[in-house]
Amino acid sequence: MSIVRKVVKEIEKRKALTAILLMLFMMLFFDTRFYTAYNLLDMLNSAAILEMLAFGVTLVIICGGCDFSIGAMMSLAGIITIKLMDHMPLGPAICAAVACGALVGFINGFLVVKQKTEPFIITLGMGMLLKGIAQQITDAHPVPAKNLSYMKIANGKVLFGIPNLIIIMIVMLLLFYYILRYTPFGRNCYAVGGDYHVATQSGIRAERIKWAAFVICGAMAAFCGVLLSSKLNTGSSIYGDSTALSVNCGCVVGGTSFAGGVGGILQSFIGLLAIQVLENCMNMLGISAYVQKVCEGVIILLILWFDNYAQKRKKEAV
Partner 1 sequence: MDAKTRIGYFVKNNLVLVTIMILAAVTALIEPKFLTVANLGNLMNQFGPLSFVALGMTLAIIGGFIDLSVAGIVSLSAVFTISMIDVLGQGGALIAGLAAGVAMGLLNAFIVVSCGALTQAKALFITYGLSAVYSAAALLYTDGATQHMSHLASRTDLFKAVGSGRAGFIPASFLLFIIIMALLHVFLTRTQTGREICLTGANITAADLCGIPVKRRITLVFVLSGVLSAFGAIVLFSRITTASPLLGANYETNAILAVVVGGTSLAGGRGSVVRTMLGVMLVILLSNCLNLLGVSTYLQSVCKGAVLIIAIWLDRRRVK
Partner 2 sequence: MDRQLSDVILSVEHVSKAFPGVKALDDVSLQVGRGVVHGIVGENGAGKSTLMKILSGVYTKDAGTVVFDGQTIEKTTPMESLRRGLSIIYQEFSLISSMTVGENIFLGRFREAGGMRGTHQKAKELLEQIGSSIHTGSYVSELSTSEKQMVEIAKALSFQSKLIIMDEPSSSLTEEELAKLGDIIRQMRSGGISILYISHKLDEIFEYCDVVTIMRDGHVIDTRPVRELDRREMVGMMVGRTIENEYPERPHFVGEPLMKVEHLTTNKLKDISFTLNRGEILGFVGLVGAGRTEIVRAIYGADKVKRKEIQIEGEAVKIMSSRDGKKCGIAFVPEDRKQQGLVLPFSVESNISMANLKKLKKGMFLSPDKERKMAEEKISELLIKTPSPASVIVNLSGGNQQKCIIGRWLETEPKILIMDEPTRGIDVGAKYEIYMLMKKAVEAGSSIILISSELPEVLNMSNRVLTIADGRITGEFDPEKVSAQEIMNRAIG
Q: 3-state DSSP call for residue 145?
A: coil
36 interface partner picked from partner 1, partner 2, none, CB below 5 to 8 A per type: none
Are 150 and 91 in contact by the 8 Å Cβ rule? The answer is no
CB of 2 to partner 1, least distance (A): 28
Residue closer to partner 1, measured from CB, 138 or 188: 138
Query: Cα(130)–Cα(60) distance, rounded to whole angstroms?
Result: 19
**Among 88, 140, 175, 198, contact with partner 2 (rule: CB under 8 A):** 198
Residue 183 sits in the site that holds partner 2 (CB under 8 A): yes
Binding piece for partner 2, criterion CB under 8 A, among 43-51, 74-82, 185-193, 224-232? 185-193
Are 17 and 270 in contact by the 8 Å Cβ rule? The answer is yes
Residue 190 has phi, psi (to 5 degrees) of: -60, -40
Query: Cα(302)–Cα(305) distance, rounded to whole angstroms?
Result: 5
Q: Which residues contact 246 (CB under 8 A, 6 or more apart)?
A: 50, 272, 275, 296, 300
Q: How many helices and strands in the chain, by DSSP H and E? A: 14, 2
Residue 3 sits in the site that holds partner 2 (CB under 8 A): no
Residue 201 sits in the site that holds partner 2 (CB under 8 A): yes
188 interface partner picked from partner 2, partner 1, none, CB below 5 to 8 A per type: partner 2
**Stretch 113-142: interaction string toward partner 1, x if CB under 8 A:** --xxxx-xxx-xxxxxxxxxx-xx--xx--
Binding piece for partner 2, criterion CB under 8 A, among 68-76, 81-89, 176-184, 232-240? 176-184
Residue 285 sits in the site that holds partner 1 (CB under 8 A): no
> Comparing C-alpha atoms, which of 84, 119, 118 is closest to residue 99?
84
Other C-beta atoms closer than 10 Å to the C-beta of 21 total 13
Residue closer to partner 1, measured from CB, 111 or 189: 111
Query: Cα(114)–Cα(117) distance, rounded to whole angstroms?
Result: 8
Please give the residue ranges that form the binding site for partner 2 (CB under 8 A). 181-184, 187-188, 190-191, 193-195, 198-199, 201-204, 261-262, 316-318
Please give the residue ranges that form the binding site for partner 1 (CB under 8 A). 111, 115-118, 120-122, 124-133, 135-136, 139-140, 242, 245, 249, 258, 288-291, 293-294, 296-298, 300-301, 304-306, 308-309, 311-312, 315-316
